[in-house]
Structure 1
């Protein structure tokens, strides 16, 4: 009996201990630490500038950085190899205080951007809507102007008014071209004589007022447009600030499968008043047609054609005498051409040669074309790595400076390095090599560049390099001591094999500041699997978009770039094609299993996930398509059915015409699969992703009698729900993964404000 009694007591104490361990996560203290996190670490990263500004065509540049004293502005002279204060901040603060009748302190000046003028004797900057100008010779300051209200941001999907642009003058100023009654007219500016050049324009098939004169002023290119039917998105603001009753508004919002305008370039010869329509055979299945540009010698004009479905992309040239169209560059793909993020074209020597980016060999590289024949002369870059950007093409020296990733062995394949090569591709020269993410800013003559390099687990180092990449000055070396004293710890970079057993998948692991390896931690993934890029942070930063705050509640938070995202091989990227529901989940799950194999405190029986926009689609898809692994998800403003979202993004990856793949990838179609916990967050005024996309998922879940949470925020646009949504998301994971009742909101404060009240 005594032995048995002891055993029961031991078991009871063990159970109680485990319960207490669980209760130590998701507590009010954890919430307060999470809520205070951003203010605690603010301005604790010293000597880590991020913005570099070369002054006109000089070899002098300035930057600002946080130091123990505050914000300091520095000036570098590359020729003299010197660095010092950009100006006397004490004198400037005193002058501003006098001018604006407010107290300004030297190391908290109220601006980040400025312009030097008058041989760097004058400084100009904005404080709110006020433009200030200060002479650095005597620190006398004046108000240059007070700007009026800025115009509201233009809606991203708004169409340009192609019929009402101003008249277009010819380069020699003798003519002006304009649209009247849907047709093209020109007027002699000396004699005022008017000539009608086209006669086939109509309301349904009009000429665009965007026209391009040839440099010799003897030819004019215009575009005839057959308009499409608009698709309007309707939004109801339930709680407008200026009236009691709701407001209805609309947006132009094309969706997959909608009709598109048809554009056909036209050539007009001014002296003969001749109209030459172009044969549309090479561009008659348009997604888009644009970038119309004349050759400098007026022999021809070029334009670019993206075939609907994004599997054919052409650079075309129209002869200025005959209007005959020929192909200069033709890019094809059995899946998709990533026109939205990888397209690059540079015409050398007025089109005698063309530099063009292509993934035709499986990796994004540069090719040199013969601009007359349209034939590839040779690849400029090649190998199992990716050109990420072109910085400078020097036609005289026939060299290219570019950024690339994946070339340096033993490094994270996403880290950007800089290189220089010649047009022949035979003399590739690394300009940076350190195992880090590099960010270069070149002087206007490309003789020098600043290089700020870091990793998420390597504090930034900033250097000045010459044109060959040689370090000529160390400018700054970050100090993270104060940051670490707050309890901050760097994320861990972690890689594991993906679904093919060969490809490395890369991500980061974020632990709470009070991490205890003896505990068990649920795992939460921050997901965004949009194929247009890759999303795991690579450069050092103090804050990680709310992930650390979530970790503070008692979670391991991770972020991963699975297959189907960009910046790796074409095969890696193609996984997404017509298959957005994949979202790299097989790779993500394997990655987490590998991490948990190394770190047993990662509890994969309690995995959550959250995301916004495409990430919202992914998060909801996790608990619909992989409920055996993901147990709880928060999906904000998700495009839950790709037929409901914007055309350009969805047809790029899901293909055209609309086929069964759209329904197969729809969260709405698979709502009955829900097994875990799901919260949907929506801004009622979202004009990025149609709010009905989320509401249709809500409807499908209700019809399938599924238990879920739904938060709609009145007046809010495309977002994760703001502070309210963030608090709801934290509570959701604490409740469903920690099995802990979240504390009352009125106990929790952020910057002396409560987030909300239960």
Structure 2
């Protein structure tokens, strides 16, 4: 019996009967329809032509290269910036043959397993990333090799892996006369003329050692800076791979994995005068309780050395500058916040030879903007940008012309506030010049010489267009590619609908998109499924055209379309607590990860239902992966009266179990009650609705024990749920690797059973 008929009052029963007659529900999909839906991406992804990815310039600025869609797949094309002549970037067949050999699996010429590369040398070598590994391939001899990264790994950047030897090759001074390295945990130098070894430090030990990977020589070879390190906690996550490929017995795997609250490496910058042997400990009063210090970098004049400092808890960031002659340090610039300083928005450019001026990105007025800082005293000389909009990226700082090229969103009123546009502005804030006028989301790359930019723009309903522009004023030089989606449209593709509604404050627009079944009938009633990712580090509703992602757990349009075609309306929303709007918008997430923007999301759903009678808010499901998995579980824990079913992938369900870097950024340090408040383990007894947990056994991003701790808590609370553990599955299980079709089918069947009428 349809759930709508199970009402207590006679009036409710009558209303439900009338609703069922006037707005009939769709019949449940057959197994054949489900399997066809699972294959939708495979059927559609090669139907477009001339859809270009953002361009990469050659180092000499004479050409640029991009990937684009062609008959049968994708091809890389290089364009001469002066003549606009187009040629293949390399021999795709020969490269595919070599990758087939070295990878041990078939690689097709028009389906190479990378989306971008860079030229090295005289355009005879290309470099790219594949399976999170760096590769270099000669495109003369067509030979490829994986790049081995030298040095000691660090767990999430803050704890050195002491099981791996540090890279202790001698660091040669700029004048070539001396070289520095570590011997017996202490810093030494070798005079190259005589071979004599001179010990510069005597206070190093195994528990407080000098790290050779931090050695930095001054340009005049007189000074060097190095960090003395007191190691942090070597926490290791251990995973059992139950069904390794090619063998019967399981394998135990171990990973350095610092978690919130763990002790991080303590780094003490030490300055040495190589001529006199003087050793100066840099006073840590300016950088107490450091979460991390950047590698030391010498200014061009050799008079000062600088490093970046992030305080534990992420509420303060500084550039510390040290005078080489005296060893005295000062804060060249300081950024502080009551909540957090957003790591991904940090930008600094030290001007000239001495760093006396610094271009600095700051959210101090509530929006991310650029400032010109006096690096000698740390004060603002002048603002460069201002307004209720966000600087998203800095492309280029031209010190000679005192101009900046940058991307921003939200400047053009009446547009989607997430659309990026590009601009040029002078250091004093004058002559702000728009460079990309089309009402769309733009991604631009500047030529190294600063003359041109390649602007690739699109919307979810407008395929990619790439234009070569003058960087001075944005004037179009030539259209390079225009996407053709005629065959995709003929196959049934329809772009998603963009919709905005007011958030919890009654004023702020919350933006989302809607994907309907291809056989959508407005007279019918459809259950709704929300695809959620609510991490504070970004916004997630697609703004560009390319709709092809992986089905389960993905955030792309075709995966949502495949699910919608089974009788759902599928949506995605950016609620408060996500990035790329004001700081106040993002600050909602501070020590409040359980919020996930749900007050805004629920209002958005209700506003859509008020406009569209087919949108049934009595039957809303939700799915997401990683932080989206955590949000999915929390939807059923904290908003179970609204959300009725959820599929949660690889969630960080208790932030105390997850990586130190992401969680201390948003929940702070020390670990406090806010971690427990967001915990799906602590609140498991609150579960309402139907839950399907999916986890990759070998997740190296989120400790898979987090999922099993939720399972334990749900069992203890006597809660029913479904669980799928994927042997050998990584964090990307069901999205970019693993048994995608199987997991996609299981998710579809779960929602059909949970949300559609009997």
Taking structure 2 as the reference length, the TM-score comes to 0.88
CA, structure 1 residues 297+88, in 2 after alignment: closer, same or farther (shift >3 Å)? closer
Verify: 1:40 aligned to 2:39, yes or no: no
Contact 1:125 1:133 in 2 (8 A): no
Cα distance change of structure 1 residues 170 and 508 upon mapping to structure 2, 3 Å threshold: same
Corresponding position of 1:749: none
For 1:317, the equivalent position in structure 2 comes to 321
In structure 2, the residue matched to 1:607 is 620
User: Do residues 433 (structure 1) and 437 (structure 2) align?
Assistant: yes
Partner of 1:483: 488
In structure 2, the residue corresponding to 1:40 is in which secondary structure? helix
User: Does residue 520 of structure 2 align to residue 519 of structure 1?
Assistant: no
Q: Does residue 1:626 correspond to 2:626, yes or no? A: no
* Aligned with residue 30 of structure 2, among 21, 27, 30: 27
User: Counterpart in 1 of 2:8?
Assistant: none
Residues 61 and 659 (structure 1), Cα distance of their counterparts in 2 relative to 1, 3 Å cut: closer
> What residue is the counterpart of 1:447 in the other structure?
451
Q: Is contact 1:93–1:104 with CA below 8 Å preserved after alignment?
A: no
Q: What residue ranges of structure 2 are gaps of 5+ in the alignment? A: 1-13, 550-555
Query: Does the residue aligned with 1:38 lie in a helix, a strand or coil?
Result: helix
Inter-CA distance 683–18: structure 2 relative to 1 (3 Å threshold): farther
CA–CA distance in structure 1, aligned partners of residues 94 and 208 of structure 2: 63
* Pair 1:458 & 2:456 matched: no
Distance 1:292 1:151 in 2: 20
Pairing 1:361–2:374 present: no
2:305 corresponds in structure 1 to 301
Map 1:49-68; keep pairs closer than 5 Å: 49-67=52-70
Return the alpha-carbon distance in structure 2 between the equivalents of residues 465 and 611 of structure 1: 39
| Secondary structure, aligned partner of 1:657 | coil
Corresponding position of 1:201:
204
Confirm whether residue 270 of structure 1 aligns to residue 274 of structure 2: yes
SS of the equivalent of 1:726 reads helix
Bigger shift: residues 186-195 or 561-570? 186-195
The answer to which of 617-626 and 241-250 deviates more is: 241-250
Kindly tell me: are residues 281 and 113 of structure 1, through their superposed partners in 2, closer, same or farther at Cα, counting changes over 3 Å? closer
Give distance in 2, aligned partners of 1:390 and 1:265: 29
What are the superposed Cα offsets for residues 318-365 of structure 1, whole Å, 9 maximum, x if unpaired? Answer: 1111211111111110111012x1000100002021011110000001
Residues 1:577 and 2:577 aligned together? no
For 2:717 and 2:177, how far apart are their aligned partners in 1?
Answer: 70
**Partner residue of 1:530 out of 530, 535, 538:** 535
Structure 1's 636 and 428: CA in aligned 2 closer, same or farther, altered over 3 A?
A: same
Residue 110 (structure 1) shift: 9.8
Instruction: Name the counterpart of 1:733.
Output: 751
Structure 2 equivalent of residue 644 of structure 1: 657
| RMSD (Å) for aligned C-alpha atoms | 3.3
1:217 aligns with 2:221: yes
Matched residue SS, 2:718: coil
CA contact (8 A) 2:700 2:731 kept: yes
In structure 1, the residue matched to 2:3 is none
Q: CA deviation at 1:76?
A: 3.8
Change over 3 Å in CA distance of 1:720–1:58 after alignment to 2: closer
Change (3 A) 1:549 1:406: same
Please state how far the C-alpha of 1:462 moved relative to its aligned partner. Answer: 2.1
Q: Which moved more, 1:456-465 or 1:613-622?
A: 456-465
Alpha-carbon spacing, 1:330–1:600, altered in 2? closer, same or farther (3 Å): same
Within the candidate set 694, 697, 700, 2:710 is matched to 697
- The unaligned stretches of length 5 or more in structure 1 are 1-10, 135-142, 741-758
Separation in 2 of the partners of 1:620 and 1:307? 32
Kindly indicate whether the alpha-carbon contact (under 8 Å) linking 1:126 and 1:132 is maintained by their aligned counterparts in 2: no
What does the per-residue CA deviation read over 1:142-198, in whole Å, with 9 as the maximum and x for residues that have no partner? x44364798999896483557552121111111111111211111111112221111
Larger Rg computed on CA atoms = 1
Q: Is 1:331 the equivalent of 2:335? A: yes
Shift of 1:64: 4.5
Task: Return closer, same or farther for 1:282/1:63 CA change in 2, 3 Å cut-off.
Answer: closer
The aligned runs of 1:46-195 (5 Å cut-off) are 46-67=49-70, 76-80=79-83, 82-84=84-86, 86=88, 133=139, 143-145=141-143, 147=145, 157=156, 159=160, 163-195=166-198
Q: Distance in 2 between matches of 1:592 and 1:470?
A: 42
Residue aligning to 1:713: 726
| TM-fit CA distance, 1:498 | 0.4
Paired position in structure 1 for 2:6 = none
Contact 2:95/2:109 (8 A) holds in 1: no
- Residue in 2 aligned with 1:686? 699
The residue correspondences of 1:649-664 to structure 2 (distance < 5 A) are 649-664=662-677
* Corresponding residue for residue 5 of structure 2: none
Q: Does 2:411 correspond to 1:421?
A: no
| Aligned residue pairs, count | 714
* Counterpart contact for 2:38–2:744, Cα < 8 Å: no
